[in-house]
Copies of this chain bind each other. A is one copy, B any other.
Amino acid sequence: MTKKKIGRQTVKLLNPPSILATYSIVGPKEGEGPLSNYFHHILQDDLYGEDSWEKAESKMLKEAVKSAVMEARLTLEDIDYLFAGDLLNQLMSSTFAARDLQIPYFGLFGACSTMAQALSLAAMMIDGGYGHHIIATTSSHFSSAERQFRFPLELGNQRPLTTQWTVTGAGAAVIAQRGKGPYITHITTGKVLDYGIIDANNMGAAMAPAAVDTIRAHFEDIGNSPDEYDLIITGDLGKIGRNIAGDLLRKEGINVEKKLKDCGVEIFDHDKQDTHAGGSGCGCSAVVFSGYLYKMLKEKRFNKILLVSTGALLSPTSIQQGESIPSIAHAVTIEGGLDG
């Protein structure tokens, strides 16, 4: 019964679950970026009719789930489990959404790796026969993240050029036993790595080794090569982390150069949008996947991708206590469907 486990970190799904539908909601800034046309819903106001950014973030997550379920032509009662997580302390965004959704709920924390973590667990649970339909979802919000992790926005602090910009957005995917794809076929689960980076304004550098370790483990476990993939896309290393990851992979002898992209680089126009090193946050790989990547897979413009969401697992407390930044990356192989 462990023919499913190949190598130390990878699972091959014998009944690859289908991603029935996705939904992405983004803030106004993300809606002005290069992936604008791929998102399902662009907010005009990042408060989304609520009285706090945290509540707005929770509403995005809830609406993304409800809309993904509608896109899949299901009802909330058809969903067996909700795998959700976010950056807010005690998962405030996921918790309050789960309260309204009334789906059996597992809360996850993997910082910005959460989308791949949720997809991994949802896919294994479907493959294993524990449900017909499972939701994987995450959110983040620039304004709720800034005040929790850095400074109150009212201070107008300057941000170093290595800083990333937390994406305002939520993405949700409905994973199902049956469907026309795209399919989740392999899962590589990351270990926590820490290369001693202590600068919380340079998370790309902290996360790059974790991304490289998981990508290396993936190819080692599976025994195939990056040539089989159309795209290897990391979660949110940003420009600096993306370049470090490229260098490290080259040193490891893994040649992914032209196929290696990053959700945090793709989501913003860095010259025009002043987002410094690029996008970050749980919502980053969630909306790039639920919007852009899912549609590209559906349209057969990609046939096989590796989504590698990356998380910097720091807390303000751990930083204040002199700790460096531990990071993790989870990888999910997604292959094209049967129809267009």
Contact residues, A76-114 vs B (CB, 8 A): 80-81, 85, 88-92, 95-96, 98-99, 102-111
With A89-B317, A106-B110 known, 9 other A-B pairs at CB within 8 A are: A4-B128, A5-B129, A85-B109, A90-B318, A91-B109, A92-B317, A106-B117, A124-B128, A128-B128
B315 touches A90 (CB 8 A): yes
| From A81, A91, A106, A315, residue with most partner B Cβ within 10 Å | A106
- 7 smallest beta-carbon distances between A and B, as pairs: A128-B128, A90-B315, A1-B129, A104-B189, A98-B192, A99-B192, A107-B109
The listed residue (B54, B102, B131, B189) touching A2 by CB distance below 8 A is B131
How many of chain A's residues have a CB under 8 angstroms from any CB in B? 64
B124 touches A189 (CB 8 A): no
In the assembled complex, how far is the CB of residue A140 from the closest CB belonging to chain B, in whole angstroms? 13
In the assembled complex, how far is the CB of residue A237 from the closest CB belonging to chain B, in whole angstroms? 19
Q: How many copies are assembled?
A: 2
Complex A-B: 29 CB contacts under 8 Å: A1-B15, A1-B177, A2-B129, A2-B131, A2-B177, A4-B129, A5-B80, A8-B104, A11-B130, A52-B321, A85-B109, A88-B317, A89-B316, A90-B313, A91-B313, A92-B315, A95-B192, A96-B323, A98-B191, A98-B328, A99-B192, A102-B192, A104-B190, A105-B191, A105-B192, A106-B110, A106-B117, A109-B109, A124-B125
